[in-house]
A and B are shown apart, each in its own frame.
Chain A
Amino acid sequence: MARVLVGVKRVIDYAVKIRVKPDKSGVVTDGVKHSMNPFDEIAVEEAVRMKEKKLASEVIAVSCGPTQAQETLRTALAMGADRAIHVEVAGPEYETLQPLHVAKILAKLSQDEKADIVIVGKQAIDDDSNQTAQMTAAILDWPQGTFASKVEKSDSGLTVTREIDGGLEVIKTKLPAVISADLRLNEPRYATLPNIMKAKKKPMKKVSAKDLGVDLAPRIKILSVEDPPVRQAGSIVPDVDTLVAKLKEGGHV
């Protein structure tokens, strides 16, 4: 049975309004509600289902970030992960933490923990990078099944249905492998009270990037973060005929 490593990132909750810092160096995170990246919730759900189907023996959740990342890990534990590893990255280092660093950390931990499957969300909703799964697979030289909307066990490994432009692609991979979760893979569960209580007692290990031998020097420099252009104000038209006329006028129909 496989051991599954799941990456979970703490991001600004998607129901919260994002504000850009006045100096355009990033977005305001202080005092802002955070939660688990929604695609990572899907990744955790998939791992937990694998365990429930007895395809996996153990689910390990990993998060890289400041102390608060432990809250995200507790959520993963409450959803059903068995134990957690908090890779502490704080302060300025966290601000420049990039997919390549996370991929190196996940790759190292996969080897240390003898994981057979790594599942991560296809992207984090804050940076939208969509790189971690691919880089992790490359560093480990493992096959990858990205944008998964279905993962099944097959004799020699996994059958992964991928969401691609205009349709679905079905691939087979050997194990070990890296999977990235797309939106339709599953609907994540709510953590239930008994599991929230149990999660408090599950083991959580803290390590540093240095312990893992990963250098966190930034490879990308952020020049400026800006608000999207303000949407043009809409206008209310009196009836359907005017609406159609306006649409024609604008060349939309």
Chain B
Amino acid sequence: MFKPFTLFVFNLNKSNVFIRAKYATAVLPQFSANKYAVERKKFGTVRPSDIDYFRTILSKERILTDEEDVLPYNIDWIKNCRGQSQVVLRPTTTEEVSQILRYCNNNMLAVCPQGGNTGLVGGSVPVFDEIVLNLSLMNKIISLDEISGALVCEAGCILENLDNYVREHNLIMPLDLGAKGSCHIGGNVSTNAGGLRLLRYGNLHGTVLGIEAVKADGTVIDCLRTLKKDNTGYPLKHIFIGSEGTLGVITKVSIHCPAQPRSVSLGYFGVEKFENVLELYKSAKSSLGEILSAFEMADNESITSTVNNLKLSNPIGDYPMYVLVESHGSDENHDNEKLNRFLTQGMESGLILDGTVTSEPNKMKSIRNIRESIAGSGLIDGYVFKYDVSLPLRNYYDLVEDLRKKLGDRVTRVYGYGHVGDGNIHINVTVPQYSKEINSELEPYIFEQVSKLKGSISAEHGVGFRKPQFIHYSQGDTSLELMRELKRTMDPNGILNPYKVLPDVASYE
């Protein structure tokens, strides 16, 4: 029991929170298939002869079959889902991916594409015995055009490594998120990840210039352009962005990297109530204009639980709401003038009760670390129900308060934090351990509320394994039917990431 667990920790990437959190509760999650009563579809099971075939494609050490070795690839980051795969394949080239998929498609073997396995909706781990196709060895940077900012790399490159690399050339990655030390660019594109810089640099539908992907039958689709403009036919790259491994396996990505800002500042403020957070957002937009690059909020419970659970220090005192504002600009004096005006107004009007502001890299790092650690800190409480929704800003925080009332002391904590600038809030509910009863109080309740407010039940984390049955709260019948048609076209046998994204309908089998 213990041995696989130590291995588990060995395999993880460097995110601190991550490792500490994993240590905190050394209990293996239940099998997803049992926990959520899923029925296995009629795929083949992997036989020794299949392994023999994979050995003709991949060297021995790139095929994992020992139970202990495979275990970490079967469990997701929040330790909610656990698959029963017996095989992990680790290709290093597009050609290998293509050969693997062609074989699996011909033999009706289901495949679960996996990146850094930081996804939060159970999409990145198998449900039954799907073969895990892990892209982590496809981690080469192919080219960087310093003039246009176009970076071309393989899908398994870790986001933080890419960011460090392009910074050497005075560029930055257009996205940044708490999982950056582990997540892959291919995973980011597959989930259409948002993150902390979206407000400024836009989402991946804008920044991804091209994609190379492999269809279920092994066909390589080469849309790996580095062009900003390319109106030749249908924009195929977009169907892979956010498709969560159900339409194809992304093998290479070309992405636009903006110039590294010469002046960066970070403010962290205490605010009295949520209405004031919104007022401050309005003020930030008008005073900071084009240099505003992040406007994030976290409620008191988010910060206190993070600071206490992870022994971090809170730069300022205890406040009902916290706001984090980041500015990216090209001229320090110009930015400071704008910031000063914003801060002075904020203090004078009482919207900002207290706060700190800094442009020292080490201090910015510590403050950002608090914000980025919120996502992981809840794991220390035991189990976390995580929701990631878009809501109209007026109603952004209502659901958190509503849930607190509804659940009372039957849960450890309810807290909300997120990207105010994007209308996206993360709602976390922590409990000592997973409880079906609490689960049924949360779902579909939360989705119903979100739907009533015309929000999205999944803002940036995707649908994955956990939400297909709720997708109709955000998508109409005709849209869903078109999605199914697309899936049938791309993957007629349904081998790619089954049980994910689209809910089952009888006609589809």
Hey, what's the 0/1 contact readout for B349-392 against A, CB within 8 Å counting as 1?
A: 00010111111111111000000000000000000000000000
Is B344 interfacial (CB-CB < 8 Å)?
yes
Contact A14 B362 (CB under 8 A): yes
Main secondary structure of the interface of A (DSSP, over half): loop
Contact A192 B355 (CB under 8 A): yes
Q: Counting chain A CB atoms within 10 Å of each CB, which of B61, B269, B356 scores highest?
A: B356
Contact B361 A240 (CB under 8 A): no
Is B313 interfacial (CB-CB < 8 Å)?
yes
Is B315 interfacial (CB-CB < 8 Å)?
yes
CB-CB contacts below 8 Å: B260-274 with A:
262, 269
Shortest CB–CB separation between residue B378 and chain A, in angstroms? 25
Among A54-62, A193-201, A209-217, the one that faces the other chain is: A193-201
Known A-B contacts A238-B61, A240-B6; A197 and B361 likewise in contact (beta carbons under 8 Å): no
**Which residues from B are CB-within-8-Å of A15?**
361-362, 364-365
Contact A13 B361 (CB under 8 A): yes
**Which residues from B are CB-within-8-Å of A35?**
360-363
Contact B315 A193 (CB under 8 A): no
Measured between alpha carbons, how far is A192 from B315 in the docked complex, in Å?
Answer: 8
Q: How many pairs of residues, A versus B, come closer than 8 Å at their CB atoms?
A: 53
Is A33 interfacial (CB-CB < 8 Å)?
yes
Contact A33 B359 (CB under 8 A): yes
Is A191 interfacial (CB-CB < 8 Å)?
yes
User: CB-nearest residue of chain B relative to A200?
Assistant: B340
User: CB-nearest residue of chain B relative to A12?
Assistant: B361
Measured between alpha carbons, how far is A33 from B266 in the docked complex, in Å?
Answer: 14
Hey, what's the 0/1 contact readout for B320-361 against A, CB within 8 Å counting as 1?
A: 000000000000000000000001100100001011111111
Shortest CB–CB separation between residue A55 and chain B, in angstroms? 24
Shortest CB–CB separation between residue B280 and chain A, in angstroms? 13
Shortest CB–CB separation between residue A41 and chain B, in angstroms? 10
Is B438 interfacial (CB-CB < 8 Å)?
no
Is A227 interfacial (CB-CB < 8 Å)?
no
Is B7 interfacial (CB-CB < 8 Å)?
yes
**Which residues from B are CB-within-8-Å of A197?**
343-344, 347
Known A-B contacts A238-B61, A240-B6, A240-B7; A193 and B361 likewise in contact (beta carbons under 8 Å): no
Hey, what's the 0/1 contact readout for B473-498 against A, CB within 8 Å counting as 1?
A: 00000000000000000000000000
Hey, what's the 0/1 contact readout for B431-459 against A, CB within 8 Å counting as 1?
A: 00000000000000000000000000000
Complex partner residue of A187 from B269, B313, B343, B363, CB under 8 angstroms: B313
Shortest CB–CB separation between residue B308 and chain A, in angstroms? 16
Contact B316 A190 (CB under 8 A): yes
Measured between alpha carbons, how far is A192 from B363 in the docked complex, in Å?
Answer: 13
**Which residues from A are CB-within-8-Å of B10?**
240
Measured between alpha carbons, how far is A31 from B262 in the docked complex, in Å?
Answer: 9
**Which residues from A are CB-within-8-Å of B344?**
197
**Which residues from A are CB-within-8-Å of B61?**
238
Complex partner residue of B358 from A31, A190, A238, A240, CB under 8 angstroms: A190
Shortest CB–CB separation between residue A32 and chain B, in angstroms? 10
Complex partner residue of B356 from A31, A38, A187, A190, CB under 8 angstroms: A190
Is A127 interfacial (CB-CB < 8 Å)?
no
Known A-B contacts A192-B316, A192-B355, A192-B356; A33 and B347 likewise in contact (beta carbons under 8 Å): no
CB-CB contacts below 8 Å: B194-245 with A:
none
Shortest CB–CB separation between residue A9 and chain B, in angstroms? 14
Measured between alpha carbons, how far is A35 from B360 in the docked complex, in Å?
Answer: 6
Known A-B contacts A187-B313, A239-B7, A240-B7; A194 and B361 likewise in contact (beta carbons under 8 Å): no
Is A16 interfacial (CB-CB < 8 Å)?
yes
Contact A193 B7 (CB under 8 A): no
**Which residues from B are CB-within-8-Å of A238?**
61
Measured between alpha carbons, how far is A14 from B361 in the docked complex, in Å?
Answer: 8
Shortest CB–CB separation between residue B7 and chain A, in angstroms? 7
Measured between alpha carbons, how far is A192 from B343 in the docked complex, in Å?
Answer: 12
**Which residues from A are CB-within-8-Å of B359?**
33
Measured between alpha carbons, how far is A226 from B136 in the docked complex, in Å?
Answer: 35
CB-CB contacts below 8 Å: B1-26 with A:
3, 6-7, 10
Complex partner residue of A193 from B3, B69, B357, B363, CB under 8 angstroms: B357
User: CB-nearest residue of chain B relative to A75?
Assistant: B360
Measured between alpha carbons, how far is A38 from B3 in the docked complex, in Å?
Answer: 41
**Which residues from B are CB-within-8-Å of A38?**
362
Measured between alpha carbons, how far is A34 from B208 in the docked complex, in Å?
Answer: 34
Measured between alpha carbons, how far is A197 from B358 in the docked complex, in Å?
Answer: 13
Q: Counting chain A CB atoms within 10 Å of each CB, which of B7, B269, B352, B357 scores highest?
A: B357
Known A-B contacts A238-B61, A240-B7; A190 and B363 likewise in contact (beta carbons under 8 Å): yes
**Which residues from A are CB-within-8-Å of B363?**
35, 190
Known A-B contacts A187-B313, A190-B315, A240-B10; A196 and B357 likewise in contact (beta carbons under 8 Å): yes
Shortest CB–CB separation between residue B67 and chain A, in angstroms? 13
Measured between alpha carbons, how far is A192 from B364 in the docked complex, in Å?
Answer: 14
CB-CB contacts below 8 Å: B45-75 with A:
61, 69
Contact A13 B360 (CB under 8 A): yes
**Which residues from B are CB-within-8-Å of A190?**
315-316, 356, 358, 363
Shortest CB–CB separation between residue B160 and chain A, in angstroms? 14
CB-CB contacts below 8 Å: A1-39 with B:
13-16, 31, 33, 35-36, 38
User: CB-nearest residue of chain A relative to B167?
Assistant: A17
Contact A193 B360 (CB under 8 A): no
CB-CB contacts below 8 Å: A228-245 with B:
238-240
Measured between alpha carbons, how far is A197 from B355 in the docked complex, in Å?
Answer: 11
Measured between alpha carbons, how far is A91 from B61 in the docked complex, in Å?
Answer: 58
User: CB-nearest residue of chain B relative to A78?
Assistant: B356
**Which residues from B are CB-within-8-Å of A13?**
360-362
Chain B residues with a Cβ under 8 A of chain A: 3, 6-7, 10, 61, 69, 262, 269, 313, 315-316, 343-344, 347, 352, 354-365
Smallest CB-CB A-B distances: 6 pairs? A15-B361, A35-B360, A190-B315, A190-B356, A15-B362, A13-B361
6 additional A-B pairs beyond A192-B354, A193-B357, A238-B61, beta carbons within 8 Å, are A35-B360, A35-B362, A190-B363, A191-B358, A193-B269, A193-B355
